[in-house]
Homo-oligomer: A and B are copies of this chain.
Amino acid sequence: MRDPDFRYYLITDRKQCHPRPLTEVVKQACREGIKAVQLREKDLGGRALFALAGELREITRRWEARLFINDRTDVALAVGADGVHCRETGVSPARIKNLQSSLVVGSSVHSIEASRRAEKEGADFLLFGPVFYTASKAKYGAPQGIEALQEVVEAAAVPVFAVGGITPERAPQCRSAGAYGVAGISSVMPADSVEQQVNRWRSILHTL
Contacts and interface: CB of A to CB of B under 8 A. Distances in A.
Interface of A: 45-48, 50, 71-74, 77-78, 86-87, 89-92, 95-96, 98-99
Nearest to A89: B45
B98 A47 contact: no
14 contacts: A45-B89, A46-B87, A46-B89, A46-B91, A47-B91, A47-B92, A48-B89, A50-B91, A72-B72, A73-B78, A74-B96, A78-B95, A78-B98, A78-B99
Contacts of A50: 91-92, 95
Complex copy number for this chain: 2
A45 B95 CA distance: 14
Q: What is the interface of chain A mostly: helix, strand, loop, or mixed?
A: helix
